[in-house]
Amino acid sequence: MFIPNTPLDQKEMLAKIGVSSVKELLSQIPQDLLYPVLNLPQALTEQELTAHIHALAEKNKPLNNFIGAGIYEHFIPAAVNALSSRGEFLTAYTPYQAEASQGTLQTIYEFQSCLCALMDMDVATASHYDGATAAAEAVLASLRITGRQEIIVSSALHPHYKQVLDTYVRHLPGVHITEAPLAENGTLDLEALKVLLSDKTAVFLLQTPNFFGCLERAGEVSDLVHKAGALLVALVHPVSLGVVQTPGSYNADFAVAEGQSLGNAVNFGGPGLGIMTAKKIYMRQLPGRIVGIAKDKDGHRSFVLTLQAREQHIRREKASSNICSNEALCALNAVIYLTLLGPKGLQEVAELNLERAHELAALISEVPGFKLKYSAPFFNEFVVECPVPAQDIINKLEQKGFGAGYALAGLKGMENCLLVCATETKTEADLKAYQTALKGI
């Protein structure tokens, strides 16, 4: 919190505690640990600063963006930011004094309601830090519920999510992570998964569409996982639920997502919005908070925190999580976005994403030397095998004004593979221009 103390305020406080300066106050701290003196330029007037910021902004190179890989460029209706920028929303913070924060509680309640409908699940929490931490928290809940110690994930799980999950569990005694391999079509090898699942498996983390954009056979995976007595955590792309089956329809125990694509801009990759939902039976294992409806002493409707299994309210070792930040403004954008679109609008957006991605995939496949790596049905993005390292393609297309995609060189055997994304923001002309640029190199 910023407290604007004037020089006179500081002088009075220092005199009160018996020191002459802030430097004397900090004298016991070794000099090399103190924050260095900043050599800042002379202060600018508002007009000069505005001109300076504009000059910096003009150095940005605009790119026609075809990069996805977990953060997606979608059209955001003007009403989303117009409403969420209102003072009563923008300046409201997390409701520590819940009964005095009815507006904030109501927006969280509506957010939870939208998520339950979207995911087809029983309960949803107030938002989490991002999709990766929501997925990791669902896995931790599954470990507590089952009492088992083996985690299985798909090898097509987003690599950054794997890193976050590993950070969460690496020091838990006996807990280990196993990866299930892919079939040639880019989806899970179900026979291999069947062999890996056992009475030691606590949870399987399924991403669909997976990191490569391929849609998994979620119903078959769910049956195998539950037959082994394990729990299923489904990690989904929320926009895809306009056209593909919901986590609730294939009996997922927890369903999580990155909610950035719901009314939140790309913003250089953040902030994110962690979505977490579950079956009602597991409600008390959810981290964070759940807002519900009650009545006040006069019988009027009121919103309350009905579940608060988070670090501020429960002793550290008893809390279900110590990392469950509510991304309130991002969640507000998401609920406004979903409300504006409604089920029909979300379906139309999802269909456009599906169409644009398949149209672009077909155009790229026409360019000599380029082909799709996987044959499975896909949503939003897909993997292209290039005749040269993918980073070379990215560098060359950047000179032509395109963000060509995400290079998969960090994954074994995929040095020449490029993950390409096309959302509803792309026009037919954009897709043809991408193909033309690719032919030109």
Q: Is the pLDDT of residue 155 over 80?
A: yes
Residues 208, 219: Cα–Cα separation, whole Å: 11
- Same domain for 172 and 312, yes or no, is yes
| Predicted local distance difference test score (pLDDT) of residue 314 | 59
Banded pLDDT at 2 (limits 50, 70, 90):
low
Could you report the per-residue pLDDT of 351-382, keeping only the tens digit for each? 999 999 999 999 999 999 999 999 999 999 99
**pLDDT value for 82:** 95
Residue 315: pLDDT band (50, 70, 90) is low
| Higher per-residue confidence, 312 vs 142 | 142
Residue 34 lies in a domain: no
Q: Which of 238, 217, 227, 213 has the alpha carbon at shortest distance from 405?
A: 213
- Both 122 and 257 in one domain: the answer is yes
Helix (H) or strand (E) holding 354: helix 328-365
| Domain identity same for 314 and 360 | no
Band of pLDDT at residue 338, cut at 50, 70 and 90:
very high
Instruction: Label residue 349 by pLDDT band (50, 70, 90).
Output: very high
Contacts of 386-391 with C-beta under 8 Å, sequence gap 24+, read 386/416, 386/417, 386/418, 387/416, 388/416, 389/415, 389/416, 390/415, 390/416, 390/417, 390/418
Count of the separate structural domains present in the chain:
2
Place of tokens 């830090």: 129
Is the model more confident about 39 or about 165?
165
- Its domain, for residue 394, covers 64-74+343-439
Within a domain: 59: no
Does residue 166 sit in the same domain as residue 233? yes
54 in a structural domain = no
Domain contains 108: yes
Which pLDDT score is estimated for 95? 58
Q: Is residue 292 part of a domain?
A: yes
CATH code of the domain in which 139 resides? 3.40.640.10
Mean pLDDT of the chain: 92
- Whether 208 and 68 map to the same domain: the answer is no
Cβ contact 154:180 at 8 Å: yes
- Cβ-contact 349, 239 below 8 angstroms: yes
Q: What pLDDT shows up at residue 98? A: 59
User: Does residue 193 share a domain with residue 119?
Assistant: yes
Q: Are residues 297 and 164 in the same domain?
A: yes
Do 370 and 276 share a domain, yes or no? no
Instruction: Say if residue 190 is in the same domain as residue 106.
Output: yes
318 and 355 part of one domain: no
Tell me the pLDDT tens digit for each residue of 180-198: 999 999 999 999 999 999 9
Inform me whether the pLDDT recorded for 108 exceeds 70: yes
Residues 118 and 244 in one domain: yes
Would you say residue 44 lies in a domain?
Answer: no
Average pLDDT over residues 127-134: 92
Per-residue model confidence (pLDDT) at position 241: 98
Token pair of 163 as six digits = 């890193």
State which of 338, 371, 395 marks the end of a domain. Answer: 338
Report the pLDDT averaged over residues 398-409: 96
Q: What mean pLDDT comes out for the span 117-136?
A: 94
For 206-261, write each residue's pLDDT tens digit. 999 999 999 999 999 999 999 999 999 999 999 999 999 999 999 999 999 999 99
Q: Which of 315, 338, 361 is the endpoint of a domain? A: 338
Domain shared by 271 and 408, yes or no: no
Q: Can you give the pLDDT at residue 313?
A: 60
Residue 42 belongs to some domain of the structure: no
Last residue of a domain, one of 338, 364, 382: 338
Residue at 15 is within a domain: no
Give pLDDT tens digits for 84-107.
Answer: 998 877 766 555 665 667 888 888
Q: What is the CATH number of the domain that holds 419?
A: 3.90.1150.10
* Alpha-carbon gap, residue 348 to 84, rounded angstroms: 24
